[in-house]
Amino acid sequence: MISRFMLFAAGCFPWIAQAADETAEEHSINMPLVFSEDFEHGSNRWELTDDTAWTLRKEGDNHVFGLNRRKSNYAPEVRSPHNIALIKDIELQDFVLIFKVRSTKDTGNHRDCCTFFGYQNPTHFYYAHLGAKPDPASGQIMIVNAEPRRPLTNNKKLVPWDDQWHTVKVVRDSSSGTIEVYFDDMKNVHMKAVDKTFGKGRIGVGSFDDMNDFDDIKLYGR
């Protein structure tokens, strides 16, 4: 429950208001927390498509985990992202994933990050591509199903990447088939698709061929 003090402080200090909003958001999720990662104890709970492309770094008193180059040594069998970090030993059908991400290289319209889910194997999975300027191959919710990735959405919304941290949320409801993706605004959906091709699967983060840092990852599900 959010205390009266926190509500009062939220009116005086914007950063406390943001924390209050995030706390309220977490309390509204009707699923247990099954995984939490702040990278303060390393990155050994992640399986990477290319270990050499990722670096655990310390920034002041905090640790972040991110990509150290755009193109990794991983060559997917079909056209799909090159930089994938999957959570080990967890497969979910319904979930809410919330994480912080920061783009670390300005590549203009190609700037992106990806979230992976329903991951069965390297040629069967969903991913949400948050590209700066959407087109049929960028800025869409995608499916990889034994063939080059194809969009499930026709999103037109830009993603306002800069050099700051942003918050991403992905919500999956397998019974209805809905996939919802949010960027910073946790109340209004950025893009949405309906598809039931894949059910339970692995979940992760990464990029198609760009560079990001990740932190404060929380996964709720069943």
Look at residue 18 in the predicted model and tell me its pLDDT: 47
State the pairing for strand pair 114-121/124-129: antiparallel
The token duo for 174 is 């397998």
pTM: 0.88
**For 149-164, b where at least 16 C-beta lie within 10 A, e where not — what string?**
bebbbebeeebebeee
Look at residue 1 in the predicted model and tell me its pLDDT: 44
Residues 65 and 12 in one domain: no
* CATH code (residue 149): 2.60.120.560
Which residues have a Cβ under 8 Å from the Cβ of 132 and sit 6 or more positions away? 108, 109, 110, 111, 112, 138, 139, 158, 159, 161
pLDDT category of residue 6 using cuts at 50, 70 and 90: very low
Residues 11 and 114 in one domain: no
Look at residue 111 in the predicted model and tell me its pLDDT: 93
Residues 163 and 76 in one domain: yes
Look at residue 33 in the predicted model and tell me its pLDDT: 98
Average pLDDT for residues 188-209, to the nearest whole number?
Answer: 97
pLDDT digits (tens, 9 = 90+) for 11-70: 554 444 444 455 545 556 889 999 999 999 999 999 999 999 999 999 999 999 999 999
Look at residue 11 in the predicted model and tell me its pLDDT: 55
The token duo for 155 is 């999103």
Residues 155 and 209 in one domain: yes
Look at the chain and report how many structural domains it folds into. 2
Residues 20 and 48 in one domain: no
pLDDT category of residue 222 using cuts at 50, 70 and 90: confident
- Mean pLDDT, all residues of the chain: 91
Structural domain of 25: 1-30
pLDDT digits (tens, 9 = 90+) for 123-164: 999 999 999 999 999 999 999 999 999 999 999 999 999 999
Q: How many CB atoms lie within 10 A of CB 213?
A: 19
Residues 125 and 149 in one domain: yes
Residues 24 and 116 in one domain: no
Side chain identity, residue 67: L
Look at residue 110 in the predicted model and tell me its pLDDT: 85
Residues 9 and 68 in one domain: no
